[in-house]
Structure 1
Amino acid sequence: MPHAQPSATIVIPAHNEVSGLGRLLPLLLGSAAPGEFRVIVVCNGCSDGSAAEARRHGSDVEVVELAQPSKAAALAAGGALVRAYPVAFVDADVALDTESVRGLVALLGRPGLLAAAPTRRLERGRVSRPAGWYYDIWERLPGVRAGLFGRGVIVLSEAGFRRVSALPQFVSDDLAFSESFQPGERGISEDSVVSVWPARTWRSLVLRRVRVVQGNRELHEAGRVSESASTSVGDLLGIVRAEPRMATRLPVFLVTTILSRLLERRMRGSRTSTWMRDETSRAT
């Protein structure tokens, strides 16, 4: 039976994501009742068939087309159309199914929670050993485990949405969203899982981390990053103490971190609002 009104709005910014949308949308809508979700795909600066692919998935999917490639503009355009809450912001290159969305909606029903995200599953197929060793450390960092960022999905209550809507535009939009909420206001759903495809090569990982460093620096300068979201020496030592085999991975993590910071300094001043993304994670 069709829903009287959507139980959630899902905003998907997409820049040349025909393959990602072809994977994501059938999963999102797979077992959803007609009208259960209102899906808004914001195609920005697309030169492929992203818009046509999104329209192919039925009347519950609305398509907005922007001329310029800008994730910030896409998030704003999609957010302006939200009428039903909660609202989920979902990257087009992840995989999230109907039941996971329902689990996130249910989690936000708990008193005091304003934001939620699914459990992250990194898809490691064809990831090189050096890149994999970096992820071994990264996934064990306390801030990464507890934060809403790096998952490609953030779900907000109406109050949570209004809070993040007041934020300036930042490169690291997911970290900015995550840091807008106190630990007691955000939650990770163990019943919801998102598949995330990381950079496959060490070189592409470093380039991706440059963008992360740029965004983190911007947030630090704005005073919007808590100590819990930053990595300390104690965090790294704690990982190695808990799992001594991680000691062999730690040098790769440190070299990657130092190099990405050096490259970010060299590139400073070249901030752009256009998409900066890794293509290896999208390769089939």
Structure 2
Amino acid sequence: MAVASVIIPAHNEAAGIGRNLRALRRGTRDEDLDVVVVCNGCTDRTAEVARHADPLARVIEIDQPSKAEAVRVGNATSDVFPRVHLDADIELTGSDVMQLLEPIMRDDVLATAPHRDVPRAGCSCWVRWYYDVWESLPQVESGLFGRGVVVLSEQAQARITALPRMMSDDLGMSDSFTGAERRVVPGAVAVVRPPRTLGDLLRRRIRIATGNAQAGELGLRRESSRTTAATLLGLTARRPALVLRLPVFLGVHAAARIGARRALRSGDFTTWQRDESSRS
């Protein structure tokens, strides 16, 4: 009997989903994880690669290219809890999943996420400097967002299901719980591959800025998850070495907010700008 379900929405992820599904089975028995891959609007071989990489996984194909719809479909196929929400481009081992389950199964918290490993090899210096600052922000260190993995108890899933559909679904998940209700689990690590170029970083950050603004309009964003001037001043006071990288962070942050304005004016929270360099 499965001890947890894993819901993986996947849109044109043929390049990496095989590797990531194989990693997900490492450190577990075949029956431990009920893995559901929902291929949404794919025009590549994502479904074929997924079935070959993990014959035990249930691979579902839907026509609509929508992460939110894929998650809804995936959730409807399983009644197993805890529930792991995993992005298809994130590498997480089965051993790490089991560590993420432990605090929830002990009823210590409602939601967990792993530490993130953001490998910088092959990235431009602008991308590296941006992530040096971003990863050091206190809300980024403590929040569940930006990891590509969130694990929910049944109670937590009910809370998340009641939320309106959001572009920044991981921010919505993170900010739905207090610090006492959520936990970043020491020892569990997800590999989150960053964009390699500044242009791809901007595309990713425009999407995130749009989703963050939507969460704010819906009243679902906590003040503690925002980056303020005080946040940055406190960060540079603690880590003076980041001062020289701060202009890069601020430049990307400002450009992303400007880039998000068109979507905000039109109310477009469905166009999914993503970088392709992290998937190559």
Instruction: Please report the TM-score for the alignment, with normalisation by the length of structure 2.
Output: 0.96
- Which of these residues, 230, 233, 238, is aligned with residue 234 of structure 2? 238
Alignment of 1:74-223 (within 5 A): 74-223=70-219
1:7 aligns with 2:3: yes
- Which of these residues, 28, 35, 40, is aligned with residue 39 of structure 1? 35
Alignment of 1:258-277 (within 5 A): 258-268=254-264, 269=266, 271-277=268-274
Q: State whether residues 214 and 269 of structure 2, in contact with CA within 8 Å, keep that contact through their aligned partners in structure 1.
A: no
Instruction: Look up the equivalent residue of 1:213 and give its one-letter code.
Output: A
Evaluate the alpha carbon distance shift between residue 260 and residue 58 of structure 1 in structure 2; reply closer, same or farther with a 3 A threshold: closer
Residue 165 (structure 1) shift: 0.7
Q: State whether residues 108 and 114 of structure 1, in contact with CA within 8 Å, keep that contact through their aligned partners in structure 2.
A: yes
Q: 1:149-186, CA deviations, whole angstroms, 9 ceiling, x for partnerless residues?
A: 00000000010111101111001010011111111100
Q: State whether residues 71 and 275 of structure 1, in contact with CA within 8 Å, keep that contact through their aligned partners in structure 2.
A: no
Separation (CA, whole Å) in 2 of partners of 1:277 and 1:107 = 32
- Which of these residues, 12, 15, 21, is aligned with residue 16 of structure 1? 12
Separation (CA, whole Å) in 2 of partners of 1:276 and 1:52 = 24
Counterpart of 1:280? 277
> Please, which moves more after superposition, 272-281 or 157-166?
272-281
Instruction: Please report the TM-score for the alignment, with normalisation by the length of structure 1.
Output: 0.95
Separation (CA, whole Å) in 2 of partners of 1:182 and 1:125 = 35
Q: Determine what percentage of the aligned residue pairs are the same residue.
A: 42
Query: 3-state DSSP class of the match of 1:13?
Result: strand
Query: 3-state DSSP class of the match of 1:93?
Result: coil
> Please, which moves more after superposition, 199-208 or 183-192?
199-208
Counterpart of 1:28? 24
Evaluate the alpha carbon distance shift between residue 274 and residue 264 of structure 1 in structure 2; reply closer, same or farther with a 3 A threshold: closer
Evaluate the alpha carbon distance shift between residue 41 and residue 176 of structure 1 in structure 2; reply closer, same or farther with a 3 A threshold: same
Q: State whether residues 122 and 196 of structure 1, in contact with CA within 8 Å, keep that contact through their aligned partners in structure 2.
A: yes
User: Alignment RMSD, CA only?
Assistant: 1.3
Separation (CA, whole Å) in 1 of partners of 2:54 and 2:246 = 47
Separation (CA, whole Å) in 1 of partners of 2:54 and 2:127 = 38
Q: State whether residues 72 and 273 of structure 1, in contact with CA within 8 Å, keep that contact through their aligned partners in structure 2.
A: no
1:247 aligns with 2:228: no
Separation (CA, whole Å) in 2 of partners of 1:58 and 1:282 = 20
Q: State whether residues 124 and 197 of structure 2, in contact with CA within 8 Å, keep that contact through their aligned partners in structure 1.
A: yes
Evaluate the alpha carbon distance shift between residue 275 and residue 263 of structure 1 in structure 2; reply closer, same or farther with a 3 A threshold: closer
- How many residues end up aligned between the 2 structures? 279
Instruction: Look up the equivalent residue of 2:203 and give its one-letter code.
Output: L
Q: 1:108-152, CA deviations, whole angstroms, 9 ceiling, x for partnerless residues?
A: 123341100001110111111011111111001111111000000
Residue 275 (structure 1) shift: 3.6
Q: 1:76-116, CA deviations, whole angstroms, 9 ceiling, x for partnerless residues?
A: 10011121110001011111001100000112123341100
Query: 3-state DSSP class of the match of 1:214?
Result: helix
- Which ranges in structure 2 are unaligned for 5 or more consecutive residues? none
Runs of 4+ in 1 over 3 A off after TM superposition: none
Separation (CA, whole Å) in 2 of partners of 1:156 and 1:190 = 17
Residue 270 (structure 1) shift: 6.0
Q: State whether residues 71 and 273 of structure 1, in contact with CA within 8 Å, keep that contact through their aligned partners in structure 2.
A: no
